[in-house]
Amino acid sequence: MTRRLLVNWVTHPLVGMTVEGLRWVNAFRAENPELRIGLLLASDAPIVLTKCLSALDCLYAVDVAASCNSDQLVTEPPLSTDWDYLFTDPRTHAPAAHESFRKVDELLRRQLLNSICNQGWQIDTLPATKHRPIRLALPEAVQKSAAARLPPGRSPVISFLQGSAAEASRTPSMGFWHQLINALRERHPDVCIVLIGSLKAKGKRTMGINRNSIDALLNTFDGMVDAVDLPILEQLALAELCDVHISPHTGMAFAIQCVGTPWMALSGAREVEYVFNGVPFASVYPSCDRYPCGDWVGRTGYRMYPRCEALKQFGKPFDCMSTTALNARMNEILDRVDDLIAGRIDYHMALQQHRKEIARRTDLPDGDNFLEGGEQVMAWDFLY
């Protein structure tokens, strides 16, 4: 009889969180080809991404508000109780987790009384996992549409995502983006820049930018493609055609790695890059001695400077994301972009260097693993 496993990834409906859920589906599938795997997502998550992952058998969309208000799980389609295993995001019951996510998991466990469930990160009672790179299979029509948007004869092609759906303060100022484009054009006169992001979506909006700032770039430079507010699969199809993607830490960059595009990460503030997909990347780190200033990755206490706390309240760029700070790193950014375009960056070496850099900046012992997927993403055969 075919065993059935349900992955509960009802969390913030952001692109990055959704990609994390897909990574776990992929990990269970890699070691269990005969397992039937379902995924539970919030109904306002970017569910369309699930259609591009063959490892997934079925999807259930949860109306979180209705479920919490009615004390029963409200899903589309209705969820059966016939599941052998349940794997819930281990962070769901962390102190900082949203109450509604805990409530959904409690309702789920009550409904699936006969299922074997994980307890936090204790998953040894569930089927084995092996993290493997995700390859999102985008629809052919979407890929053709994306190719038609690119101006002919332009090279290299680089995608920009200027902000994050998590907070506006991760967004570098528009002054920096103007200067970065000028610098890229000096090195690559025929460069094509693809602007991606979302200004209209509720809850998943790219913060820190607006239509006026996008139009200012389009009106200043030629060879630009405006993909802002296109459907997410069309944006990913454009990113798939790019030689490199440049952005601060953002979940969309997780998805872009799933179409094989290298990531040039403008590191800073509270987050460190922790999701990798066997694709070359480079992180350009700030000089600030408090980076990363969040307490989730080996920091003792929360250490953000009071000034940056104030900037966060007003939605202004953190000091490490200011034009001055990023201009000081401009040559390094340009060099790493060129290295990624030319294929001079090895994924495994980059990941080892990244771990050492984060260990140096945190309380983590050198060699401790904060990466999503642990040591498995370091394996020699973990390559896109």
Model pLDDT, residue 295: 65
User: Do residues 154 and 223 touch, judged by C-beta distance below 8 A?
Assistant: yes
State mean pLDDT over 214-243: 96
Could you count the other beta carbons within 10 Å of the beta carbon of residue 133? 20
With vertex at residue 378, the alpha carbon angle to CA 293 and CA 240, rounded to the nearest 5 degrees, is 80
Model pLDDT, residue 299: 57
Residue 298: pLDDT over 60: no
pTM over 0.85: yes
User: Do residues 172 and 317 touch, judged by C-beta distance below 8 A?
Assistant: yes
State mean pLDDT over 305-327: 90
Confidence of residue 369 (pLDDT cuts 50, 70, 90): confident
Tokens of 325: 């700070």
CATH topology of domain 4-117: Rossmann fold (3.40.50)
Residue 70: pLDDT over 60: yes
Residue 348: pLDDT over 90: yes
Phi and psi at residue 174, to the nearest 5°: -65, -30
Residue 162: pLDDT over 70: yes
Torsion of CA 359, 333, 343, 143, to 10 degrees: 110
Tokens of 71: 């004390």
Residue 121: pLDDT over 70: yes
Model pLDDT, residue 297: 59
User: Do residues 345 and 336 touch, judged by C-beta distance below 8 A?
Assistant: yes
State mean pLDDT over 305-329: 90
State mean pLDDT over 305-312: 89
Sign of the C-alpha dihedral computed for residues 128, 100, 66 and 72 taken in this order: positive
CATH 3.40.50.2000 range(s) for the chain read: 140-378
Confidence of residue 270 (pLDDT cuts 50, 70, 90): confident
pLDDT digits (tens, 9 = 90+) for 232-253: 999 999 999 999 999 999 999 9
Confidence of residue 95 (pLDDT cuts 50, 70, 90): confident
| CA 73/CA 76 separation, integer angstroms | 10
Residue 45: pLDDT over 80: yes
| CA 37/CA 182 separation, integer angstroms | 48
Model pLDDT, residue 34: 96
Residue 125: pLDDT over 70: yes
Q: What percent of the chain has pLDDT over 90?
A: 74
CATH of domain 140-378: 3.40.50.2000
State mean pLDDT over 183-199: 96
Confidence of residue 279 (pLDDT cuts 50, 70, 90): very high
Residue 182: pLDDT over 90: yes
Q: What is the DSSP string of 90-137?
A: GGGGSTTS-HHHHHHHHHHHHHTTTSEE-BTTB-TTSPP---------
Model pLDDT, residue 98: 84
Q: Which stretch of 190-194, 268-272, 374-378 has the lowest confidence by average pLDDT? A: 268-272
Model pLDDT, residue 62: 96
State mean pLDDT over 163-187: 90
